[in-house]
Structure 1
């Protein structure tokens, strides 16, 4: 194994390349409430306390990063080896999936379960964390963020841009962090409500089922393109077409591998084996999608997690960036096995603070992060998987409706007014379109 050479001492501004720092000087005291009227969870902290938190976190990060070594390298290599053997073993077991035992196909169930776990490990603990650069210090070209391509519909390059560069820079900033609801969910009361969100419980479940394709469309910024393509320059359109072609090519490769090549190879074990292999791959991908979506929503959307206004990050200092990561994330409590299966994103608070820290270290620093937050009276949002999932699904249902305002109009009236406005607007647009069409016809007639 080759370790990184001794690193020179780093200044405070280069400790974490993903910190978005606009100012080194503490800003004025934070207001007690946001512009929306919701309480500011960090209003009780003075600017000096916030910068003190930043210095403490800088020191913690430096301590861990300086201690990286053989133990960490052995960990990620062991996980990769386990994942590959598990996938190969599961595919071997699936060759016998046509064998029935009392009407039951044990090989199919065992092989599909093993393949599901292998795909989850590849995406979560390996792919996600490798592409964050957590293992770049090893100088291993096979385990490097610039070379890793994962088993997913989204191309690594596009995912790294939308996730590493955008999401981790603007964590939970309304209007800047597209991960906040992925553009189809309203997950915070400060997000404006529209009729579209009435159906978000349906969108939410559908999004979970096809999550890898949703993420591919999201990384491609397909929604933004469709909304503003008429106003885009030819260069912007050409770039989108190039990126779209890359996504389509990646999806074709994934589909060919899972639904053509592997089923075709399994024909050696019998005429029905390809169908069994095909269904096993379908189920494994579905399980992986549902699990990945579940882990991600538990780290970003449970009650108690704060969102931030665009103006609040103007002139943001180092300590404030750290503070935003802590307040904008939530953890999942559980066993070591569960943490590995989540890619250690069950330690989402720690991951958002230090996205390029080796994932196996998050459990070590979690007690110290929790202590720091509790000392400063900051909410350390955490809970069991069942609790976090339940709270998010309930939140999705609740926020599909307009905000309940004391002394304001009833929700049903707000919905009714929105329906009327939408219907009126559609009629107006139809009249305008008809008038334009008539005008164009008249002009053509006059010319003739």
Structure 2
């Protein structure tokens, strides 16, 4: 995941080295044409789609919550928990995420509009739109600008220095996945940076923190107080409480996995800050193409991922209706082939495995995993121990040796 700008220096293949400036700008023109075609054909069918999905989600949630009133009976608990999990995923992915992107603002329906929609997540819509729509989608995969890369808690590139704390990265990633909605809320608040700069008493931060706490209180009251309390007459208070917690964890694990698949597997490129200075529209498009990955699968999978299974198309055209991504995906893939670029798409199990492999690989010093095998594992563990307990100079010297051995092995 070395930044594209350093690949040539390290003797690695640069995926865009063969493109001229004219090629890149022509590619941008062709992508603009695909986007305009969708804009020109949006209509009643698209509006009917999102209204239908919202209707199904609401009925599924109400039905599941009704079943959970009798969740003391195991079959009711399983059925209700499954239904509630699916409804929360739909609310988060295909509905909330895409409405807040403004994908349906053209309908001019005040009930389905990015300025009025609120979702079943800990993060207030207003704050999420700033960190996601304005920052992430502007600076996709730019190291030091796109905080979605690792959410500020993970090492996401070989060029970032390795520290002993990096060893805990897989644990951080898993805990963040389980409680993903709260991690996103803290991320939207820029909580880590605010604490580091001792700005927790500033009025603007306090205002935003109050918004988050109010939202969390409302969500917790609904899921962990009101709904379980309604189940008391059937002796289902604790089962209903457990069902709501389970549904939230399932939704968090699913949405985290989808995000990892779209941004972090092998084959996804990262970029340096200097690369976006004076960036043209065509260059921005190329960055979205190479900084994203798709998940191949069924129509049901696409809906359950909020069509972020078409992450490449979403990064290229974040404001187009999500139901149209499958339609334009073949056209986008054809452009990848025309300009000799790699269209990164795999089934979900492969993408999840690839992303987690990278999480683990980058938790270790550069080259350590590549140079370790069964025979030399004891020696390699000794090297890792020395790096974890040694000073910066020790880490630097041993790290250089590992990288040199890894390059030699690759050659």
> Residue 38 of structure 2 is aligned with which of 64, 85, 90?
64
> Residue 191 of structure 1 is aligned with which of 136, 139, 160?
160
Any conservation in 2 of the 1:402–1:411 contact (CA below 8 Å)? no
Matches within 5 A, 1:236-251: 237-251=202-216
Aligned to 1:127: 96
Q: Is 1:116 matched with 2:85? A: yes
Any conservation in 1 of the 2:295–2:348 contact (CA below 8 Å)? yes
> Residue 230 of structure 2 is aligned with which of 261, 265, 277?
265
Any conservation in 2 of the 1:209–1:286 contact (CA below 8 Å)? yes
Q: Offset of 1:275 from its aligned partner? A: 1.5
Aligned to 1:200: 169
The Cα offsets for residues 390-436 of structure 1, whole Å up to 9 and x where unpaired, read as 111111111111111899xx786476245322799xxxxxxxxxxxx
The alpha-carbon distance between structure 1 residues 39 and 228, as it changes in their structure 2 partners (threshold 3 A), is farther
Q: Distance in 2 between matches of 1:130 and 1:422?
A: 47
The alpha-carbon distance between structure 1 residues 38 and 310, as it changes in their structure 2 partners (threshold 3 A), is farther
> Residue 287 of structure 2 is aligned with which of 295, 307, 324?
324
Aligned to 1:167: 136
Aligned to 2:107: 138
- Between 1:88-97 and 1:62-71, the stretch displaced more is 88-97
Any conservation in 2 of the 1:171–1:324 contact (CA below 8 Å)? yes
Q: Offset of 1:78 from its aligned partner? A: 0.2
Matches within 5 A, 1:367-406: 367-404=330-367
Any conservation in 2 of the 1:41–1:378 contact (CA below 8 Å)? yes
> Residue 220 of structure 2 is aligned with which of 252, 255, 258?
255
- Between 1:141-150 and 1:198-207, the stretch displaced more is 198-207
Q: Is 1:149 matched with 2:112? A: no
Aligned to 1:17: none
Matches within 5 A, 1:264-303: 264-268=229-233, 270=234, 272-303=235-266
> Residue 193 of structure 2 is aligned with which of 202, 214, 224?
224
Q: Distance in 2 between matches of 1:326 and 1:113?
A: 35
Q: Distance in 2 between matches of 1:412 and 1:49?
A: 50
Q: Distance in 1 between matches of 2:229 and 2:10?
A: 58
Q: Offset of 1:184 from its aligned partner? A: 1.2
**Cα RMSD between the aligned structures?**
2.2
Q: Distance in 2 between matches of 1:412 and 1:59?
A: 57
Q: Distance in 1 between matches of 2:123 and 2:131?
A: 11
> Residue 304 of structure 1 is aligned with which of 251, 263, 267?
267
The alpha-carbon distance between structure 1 residues 139 and 311, as it changes in their structure 2 partners (threshold 3 A), is same
> Taking structure 1 as the reference length, what is the TM-score of the superposition?
0.82
Q: Is 1:158 matched with 2:127? A: yes
Q: Distance in 2 between matches of 1:135 and 1:45?
A: 35
Q: Offset of 1:238 from its aligned partner? A: 1.7
Residue 329 of structure 1: SS of its match in structure 2?
A: coil
The alpha-carbon distance between structure 1 residues 376 and 254, as it changes in their structure 2 partners (threshold 3 A), is same
Q: Is 1:91 matched with 2:65? A: yes
Q: Distance in 1 between matches of 2:91 and 2:392?
A: 45
Q: Mind listing any 5+ residue stretches in structure 1 that lack a counterpart? A: 1-29, 100-104, 425-448
The alpha-carbon distance between structure 1 residues 415 and 223, as it changes in their structure 2 partners (threshold 3 A), is farther
Aligned to 1:349: 312
The alpha-carbon distance between structure 1 residues 411 and 310, as it changes in their structure 2 partners (threshold 3 A), is farther
Q: Mind listing any 5+ residue stretches in structure 2 that lack a counterpart? A: 372-379, 395-411
The alpha-carbon distance between structure 1 residues 31 and 204, as it changes in their structure 2 partners (threshold 3 A), is closer
Q: Offset of 1:36 from its aligned partner? A: 6.0
Q: Distance in 2 between matches of 1:411 and 1:60?
A: 52
Any conservation in 1 of the 2:262–2:292 contact (CA below 8 Å)? yes
Q: Distance in 1 between matches of 2:163 and 2:382?
A: 13
The alpha-carbon distance between structure 1 residues 136 and 184, as it changes in their structure 2 partners (threshold 3 A), is same
Number of residues of Structure 1 aligned to a counterpart in Structure 2: 383
Q: Offset of 1:190 from its aligned partner? A: 2.8
The Cα offsets for residues 16-39 of structure 1, whole Å up to 9 and x where unpaired, read as xxxxxxxxxxxxxx9784566643
Residue 42 of structure 1: SS of its match in structure 2?
A: coil
The alpha-carbon distance between structure 1 residues 404 and 142, as it changes in their structure 2 partners (threshold 3 A), is same
Please identify the structure whose Cα radius of gyration is greater: 1
